[in-house]
A and B are shown apart, each in its own frame.
Chain A
Amino acid sequence: MNYLNKARNLFACVMVMLACAAIPGMSLAVEVTIGEFPEIDRLERELERGVSTTEDIERVLGKPSGYGRALSGIDGKHRDVWYYEEIEASVIDSKGSVIRMHAHQQILLIFLLDEKLDGFQWYSNAGALKGTRPGLMGDNEAGTSK
């Protein structure tokens, strides 16, 4: 499923929420961080599909940020999902109606079958967000993310 893209869209919205919420008096020198990303290269080097256990995964990648579950129509099997994430956002500047931000997001999903590693997906980006304060724009463009 294309859940990583969906997650990215949701997180972009949330980062705008967070960055704004973390700006007391609209002071701009602020950085917001959520989570801590594991060393991704250790995943292929130290873990093995169908062999590595939940204990192995936690030892190599650390404790996950969250959990979930999946059911695949391909084989009809349930899988547990472990979720790792790190999101950093910092405000670059604020000019007029526009707040410009740096955003860096990394997401890793681990799929477990019978408590053993069955697969993974990870995603990382370095992008920019631009939000516009409401009521200050002259046209219908209210905000963008990319």
Chain B
Amino acid sequence: MNKLVNVLFALVLIALIGGCAPTLEYGRWPDTAKLDSLELYKSDMDEVRAVLGEPHGKGMGRTPDFPELATIWTYEYAVTTGTASDFSILLIGFIDGRFYGYTWFSSQQKTRVSH
């Protein structure tokens, strides 16, 4: 997180010094249409990696969606130009190393700036 903030500030400063409107981008977004090729309770982590690519982050969870301790992979993407923003998040759940579901959502919106 700290490294990320450093990188972002560096990007912003470079853009400001350059006198142009900065476009800032973070993460990578997989092709969510490929989620349909995964088999619930069967596909393993290698198959998910082959379909979606390397995850951006990893975690664990035990929630109503996951009756047993689950491994969670995350994929994130954000881009902003200062006037428009696009955020996307995908979470993949595994139980006992097998694909156990996903949630993703994505938005594209204008940014309002007031001075």
Please give the residue numbers on chain A whose beta carbons come within 8 Å of chain B beta carbons, in ascending order. Answer: 1-3, 6-7, 9-11, 13-14, 16-18, 20-27, 29-35, 65-74, 76, 81, 83, 85, 109, 131-134, 140-145
Pairwise interchain contact B111-A71, C-beta atoms closer than 8 A: no
- B interface vs A, CB < 8 Å? 1-6, 8-10, 12-13, 15-16, 21-22, 24, 26, 32, 35, 40-41, 57, 59, 61, 63-67, 72, 74, 76, 78, 80-82, 85, 87, 89, 91, 93, 95, 99-115
Q: Within the assembled complex, what's the spacing in Å between the Cα atoms of A25 and B17?
A: 9
Closest A residue to B61 using CB positions: A2
CB neighbours of B93 from chain A (8 A): 1, 73
CB distance from A80 to the nearest CB of B (A): 10
**Contact residues in A for B102 (Cβ distance below 8 Å):** 69-71
Select A1's contact among B3, B6, B16, B65, beta carbons within 8 Å: B65
Beyond A6-B89, A71-B103: 5 further Cβ-contacts under 8 Å?
A: A1-B72, A2-B61, A13-B4, A70-B102, A74-B67
- A71 near B35: Cβ-Cβ < 8 Å: yes
25 A-B pairs with CB atoms under 8 Å apart are A1-B66, A2-B63, A3-B103, A6-B74, A10-B78, A13-B4, A13-B26, A16-B5, A16-B9, A17-B8, A17-B26, A17-B78, A18-B82, A22-B82, A24-B16, A27-B115, A33-B112, A34-B85, A67-B106, A68-B106, A71-B101, A72-B101, A85-B87, A140-B2, A145-B1
Task: Report A-chain residues with C-beta under 8 Å of the C-beta of B3.
Answer: 142
In whole Å, how far is A115's beta carbon from the nearest beta carbon of chain B? 17
- Residue contact A21 to B12, C-beta cutoff 8 Å: yes
Nearest CB of chain A from residue B74's CB, rounded to whole Å: 6
Question: Shortest beta-carbon distance, B96 to chain A, in Å?
Answer: 11
Q: What residues on A are CB-neighbors of B5 within 8 Å?
A: 13, 16, 131-132, 142-143
CB within 8 Å for A74 and B65 given contacts A14-B80, A85-B107, A109-B105: yes
Known: A1-B91, A21-B21, A73-B41. A34 touches B6 (CB 8 A): no
